[in-house]
Amino acid sequence: MIKQTLSIQSFSQSFSQSDVQKLDRVNREPNLEWLKRAYHSFALENLADWSFIILAGGKDVASFRIRVAQSHLRGDMLPSFWSECAFFKIEQGDFSTASFFNLPLFQPATASYAPTRNGLIELPLKQLPTQKDYPNLALLAIPVAQEKIVASLDEYRKSRVSYDAVENILPWLAFVWGAGNAVNPLMQHNGFPSAMMLNQIYAANGFDLAPGVNANLSAPETFWSGVKHWQDYYSKTQENGLLPKARYVLGHMYDIDEN
């Protein structure tokens, strides 16, 4: 944990050079409308070179526990802004057919048997939770071709024998529910399920979503720290010369006053 915190501090000077911009909501706009505006604000020259990740932060009890669990990944020990992450699939800016992929802790009852799909869910973007449920939202633009990630997702879905993602869901679900003696999964080096999936898939395609962090500590917070603080690293390692970008809005924070 100490190594991870020091790494973030070491690269904090690159924040001013990064394309990470706050994008406030306009008249309490819904999450879907905000995402459209964030997506177009990147003004990417060649969409084929990019793929996208959504970070979301809720304010219900389950989200609270997930956000607090990630405080160990922050130098200030404050709760994370984020309680979920997902791959955002979109073809040439067409939001009508867009979808998102993740490994939800609460597997949908209407979906097929979880082990047969390694816990992976694809849902139409219109089913993204509302602003009321997820007031914090970020869109990360990652310089890896979407077609490569989609192909890897299909392989991941069929690869439970080599990596059992369903098993990774269980300790987080136990922690969120406060079941038995469940402890913070990150303290046991069990990363957040959706983040573990995304980190593995992007790593297989040559991109590190969370530089300087043990892969077993993958979480929405490590992706957020990566795009904010590791631009210098990416500038030296990205062969295509493209650097990750982000747009974000924060509608919910925890007011902590120690005075």
Distances, alpha carbon 45 to alpha carbons 40, 83, 85, 255, in Å: 11, 31, 25, 40
State residue 234 phi and psi, 5-degree precision: -65, -35
Mean pLDDT for the chain? 91
Question: If pLDDT is split at 50, 70 and 90, which confidence band does 162 have?
Answer: confident
What order of strands is seen across the sheet that includes strand 19-22? 19-22, 245-249, 136-142, 51-57, 84-91, 94-102, 121-124
Segment 76-105 shows an average pLDDT of 96
What whole-number distance in Å separates Cα of residue 35 and Cα of residue 31? 6
Side chain identity, residue 51: S
- Are 183 and 175 in contact by the 8 Å Cβ rule? The answer is yes
User: Per residue in 167-206, pLDDT tens?
Assistant: 999 999 999 999 999 999 999 999 999 999 999 999 999 9
> What's the mean pLDDT in 17-34?
92
User: What pLDDT score does 198 carry?
Assistant: 97
Contact 73, 4 (CB under 8 A): yes
Which pLDDT belongs to residue 11?
41
Residue 207 tokens read as: 């991109």
pLDDT digits (tens, 9 = 90+) for 214-258: 999 999 999 999 999 999 999 999 988 899 999 999 999 998 887
**CA 120 to chain CA mean position, Å:** 15
pLDDT digits over 30-78, tens only? Answer: 999 999 999 999 999 999 999 999 999 999 999 999 999 999 999 999 9
Q: Tell me what pLDDT residue 4 has.
A: 39
